[in-house]
Structure 1
Amino acid sequence: MNPAEARRRAQDFLRRKQLLSAVEAEQALGVAAAVLGESLARLAAAAGARDGKTCAEAAHGLKGNLLNLGLPELAQAAQAIQDQAQTGDFQAVTTAISALGASLADMAGTIRD
């Protein structure tokens, strides 16, 4: 999913499903951007340290945050990272983190890989 599509879908979800106003949805995306950015950083650090447990925990939390934004496809990517971390496939984890970070790059304009 490209970054603009992820942002548009999250905004739409927040407005239609969570019944937020346009302003509230933008504010929520700002908060989400910070949380997602921190989660991606924690995930990348854990992968770099080859810490499967922390990596899996971070991916699990990220999955929940993505589901709360109405982004199930990206949540599935986080689940795949969690699974890969649990098996110790850190090369695949690192590649998947980069792809996920790229997909989220447009979320409130603040998340970068």
Structure 2
Amino acid sequence: MNPAEARRRAHAFLRRKQLLSTAETEQALDVAAVVLGESLARLAQAAESRDGIACVEAAHGLKGNLLNLGLPELAAAAQAIQEQAQTGDFPAVTTAIPALCASLAALTGPLRD
């Protein structure tokens, strides 16, 4: 999913399914940007240090946050990362993280070290 589509779908989900006002939606997306950015950074750090437990926890949290934004396809990507981390497949995890970050760029901004 491209970043603009992810943001558009999250915005529409919050407005239509969660019944938030435009202002509430923008505020929720601002909070989501921080939470998702921190979670992606935590996931990348855990993968780099090959910390399976931290990687699983970060991916699981991302999955939940993405579902709460109405982004099941991206939640499935986080789920796949979680499963890869559970089996210790850190090369696959490391490969998958940049794609997830790219898909979320319109929601999070650039991932910072």
Q: Which range, TM-score by smaller chain? A: over 0.9
* Corresponding residue for residue 20 of structure 1: 20
**Counterpart-to-counterpart distance in 2, 1:57 and 1:50:** 13
Post-superposition CA distance 1:29-69 (Å, at most 9, x none): 00000000000000000000000111001100100000000
**Structure 1 partner of 2:97:** 97
CA distance in 1: counterparts of 2:95 and 2:110, whole angstroms: 15
Q: Match for 1:71: what amino acid?
A: L
**Structure 2, unaligned runs of 5 or more:** none
In structure 1, the gaps of 5 or more residues are: none
TM-score for the superposition, normalised by structure 1: 0.96
**Distance (Å, rounded) in 2 between the aligned partners of 1:65 and 1:112:** 18
Match of residue 72 from structure 1: 72
Normalized against structure 2, the TM-score is what?
0.96
Cα offset for 1:94?
1.1
Residue 7 of structure 2 corresponds to residue 7 of structure 1: yes
- CA-based RMSD of the aligned residues comes to 0.8
Equivalences, count: 111
Following the alignment from structure 1 to structure 2, what is the Cα–Cα distance between the partners of residues 28 and 52? 30
Q: Name the SS of the counterpart of 1:70 in structure 2.
A: coil
Equivalent residue letter for 2:33? A
* Pair 1:35 & 2:6 matched: no
| Divergent runs of 4+, >3 A | none
Give the match for residue 109 of structure 2: 111
- Using the TM superposition, give the Cα deviation of residue 88 of structure 1 relative to its aligned residue in structure 2, in angstroms: 0.9
State the distance in 2 between where 1:38 and 1:66 align: 13
Letter in 1 for 2:44: A
